[in-house]
Chain A
Amino acid sequence: MCLGIPMRLVKINGDEGMAESGGLKRAANLSLLKDARVGDYILIHAGFAIEKLKTEEARKTLKALREIGA
């Protein structure tokens, strides 16, 4: 149940956001997030953005994994 889906924030209107992933659009409540900006990747759980996704960290994780044992 603790599913969180990374989606891209495409519209903000106060605490109401619209997020998109793979062509699917979903309303996202932004009231639990500070300073959300259009273009941010956010993690959606039960209709709420619960955290921003740190894209640089994602890149670092993948890079580290590609490099181990190489």
Chain B
Amino acid sequence: MKYIDEFRDRKLIGKVARQIREAVKPRRACRFMEVCGTHTMSIFRFGLKEILPGNITLISGPGCPVCVTPNAFLDKAIALAGMKGVIVTTFGDMLRVPGSYSTLEKEKAKFNSVRMVYSTDDALDMARRNPDKEVVFIGIGFETTSPTVARSILTAGKEKIKNYSVLCGHKTMPQALRALLDDKKIGIDGLLLPGHVSAIIGVKPYEFLVKDKSKGCIIAGFEPLDIMQAILMLVKQKGPKLEVQYTRVIEKNGNPLARKAIGEVFQKADSEWRGLGIVKDSGLEINKKYSFFDAEKRFKLNVKPPKENKNCICGDVLKGIKTPEDCRLFGKACAPEHPVGACMVSGEGSCAAYYKYKARVYA
């Protein structure tokens, strides 16, 4: 497929790997964090760790939206699925994530009240087709996804689709990275930043990573060649800089229409992240003008206080402090068929990636 296959060229990837080995030789051990779950998946899928020099360690960061969504939020989504007359619509990854007491998948089996959708347009269609039902979309994801949810609310407003609402759990990436790097335990030399978040927000929101945190940063694409080139750019940096590898997509100011949609519907709010706790201004909530479409305001949700599995270390895995293999549940009590923690459920979670691509070890 065009613009995918070219960036998976094995020969070229091998060549970049050699360049990395040469560039990194005289330097000390490097720890780089790939922030985005889609990066994590690509790194494992294409075996990139295997072709990197031993002194470069890649650590997975908090960029898997499913993984960082806390139990308190999941419990609300699950409560909605148990309400009479409600259809919960969600991206597929969310179905099997365990909340404190249940999962959306289990509620679906009990009440037939959950539908997987590919896009918010599908959720709106469902609302149009089922005027006697309340259709709630579970809004999770970073800046890449939140404009699509904003658009759905704007459309619902315009067309007066009154039986549509959104349970809003959107998060914003830069604030989370600031919180992450404030934690002194996390030793990172450089970051691969998520290219599709920057497709929306552009380059500027990350400048603080260089100015305040002295980290080298590359905004990177997701194909193996993109990731390898970004690593090469990082090891070649003399002093921390913010550079763009994914030039075929990123505009300096991002996508103005998408940012406008976010600004029209949402406002900044403090948000809870699995692993990071509550991070100031790191989330989005539906603003007053569009509060009619806010599922938390529309429904009275009776949710018990959230409960975490004490043995699950997803929080530390998301911060890159521990690896999945440090977890005593990993591959035993917690596996993709019966996940305990969110990092095992999401196809992009570090634990799922470790399990899938090192299967010969754990199977």
- Which residue numbers of A lie inside 8 Å of B, CB to CB? 1-6, 8, 21-22, 27, 29, 31-34, 41, 43, 45-48, 50-51, 53-55, 57-58, 60-62, 65-66, 68-69
Shortest beta-carbon distance, B13 to chain A, in Å? 9
Is the beta-carbon distance between A2 and B255 smaller than 8 angstroms?
no
Is the beta-carbon distance between B1 and A33 smaller than 8 angstroms?
no
Is the beta-carbon distance between A43 and B91 smaller than 8 angstroms?
no
Select from chain B the residue with minimum beta-carbon distance to A62: B6
Task: Take A21-B1, A22-B1, A57-B247 as given contacts and tell me if A4 and B121 are in contact as well, using a CB distance cutoff of 8 Å.
Answer: no
Distance between Cα atoms of A13 and B251 in the complex (Å): 26
Distance between Cα atoms of A43 and B248 in the complex (Å): 11
User: Which residues does chain A contribute within 8 Å of B251, judged by CB atoms?
Assistant: 51
Interface of chain A, helix or strand or loop or mixed?
mixed
Distance between Cα atoms of A4 and B221 in the complex (Å): 10
Is the beta-carbon distance between B151 and A29 smaller than 8 angstroms?
yes
Is there a chain A Cβ closer than 8 Å to B190's Cβ? no
Task: Take A2-B197, A4-B199, A21-B1 as given contacts and tell me if A50 and B255 are in contact as well, using a CB distance cutoff of 8 Å.
Answer: yes
Is the beta-carbon distance between A47 and B119 smaller than 8 angstroms?
yes
Task: Take A32-B255, A45-B196 as given contacts and tell me if A2 and B144 are in contact as well, using a CB distance cutoff of 8 Å.
Answer: yes
B interface residues, tally (CB under 8 Å): 53
Is the beta-carbon distance between B248 and A47 smaller than 8 angstroms?
no
Is the beta-carbon distance between B248 and A2 smaller than 8 angstroms?
no
Is there a chain A Cβ closer than 8 Å to B118's Cβ? yes
Is the beta-carbon distance between A54 and B1 smaller than 8 angstroms?
no
- Which residue numbers of B lie inside 8 Å of A, CB to CB? 1-4, 6-7, 12, 15-16, 18-19, 36-38, 63-66, 91, 93, 118-122, 140-142, 144-145, 147-148, 151, 194, 196-197, 199-200, 222, 225, 229, 245, 247-249, 251, 255-258, 261, 346, 348
Is the beta-carbon distance between A53 and B248 smaller than 8 angstroms?
yes
Select from chain B the residue with minimum beta-carbon distance to A64: B229
Shortest beta-carbon contacts, A-B, top 8: A47-B119, A58-B248, A6-B3, A57-B248, A22-B1, A2-B196, A51-B199, A2-B144
Distance between Cα atoms of A45 and B194 in the complex (Å): 14
Distance between Cα atoms of A50 and B286 in the complex (Å): 21
| Besides A2-B141, A34-B257, A65-B12, 15 new A-B residue pairs in contact (Cβ under 8 A), listed by A number | A1-B64, A1-B140, A3-B196, A4-B144, A6-B3, A32-B147, A43-B196, A47-B122, A51-B199, A51-B255, A61-B247, A62-B7, A62-B12, A66-B12, A69-B19
Distance between Cα atoms of A22 and B3 in the complex (Å): 11
Shortest beta-carbon distance, A19 to chain B, in Å? 12
Select from chain A the residue with minimum beta-carbon distance to B256: A34
User: Which residues does chain B contribute within 8 Å of A5, judged by CB atoms?
Assistant: 4
Residue in A1, A4, A62, A66 with the greatest tally of chain B CB atoms within 10 Å: A1
Distance between Cα atoms of A6 and B4 in the complex (Å): 8
Task: Take A50-B196, A53-B248, A65-B15 as given contacts and tell me if A1 and B120 are in contact as well, using a CB distance cutoff of 8 Å.
Answer: no
Task: Take A3-B38, A6-B3, A50-B144 as given contacts and tell me if A68 and B121 are in contact as well, using a CB distance cutoff of 8 Å.
Answer: no
Task: Take A41-B2, A66-B12 as given contacts and tell me if A48 and B148 are in contact as well, using a CB distance cutoff of 8 Å.
Answer: yes
Is the beta-carbon distance between A6 and B348 smaller than 8 angstroms?
no
Select from chain A the residue with minimum beta-carbon distance to B194: A2
Task: Take A1-B64, A8-B2, A53-B248 as given contacts and tell me if A31 and B151 are in contact as well, using a CB distance cutoff of 8 Å.
Answer: yes
Select from chain B the residue with minimum beta-carbon distance to A69: B19
User: Which residues does chain A contribute within 8 Å of B257, judged by CB atoms?
Assistant: 31-34
Is the beta-carbon distance between B249 and A1 smaller than 8 angstroms?
no
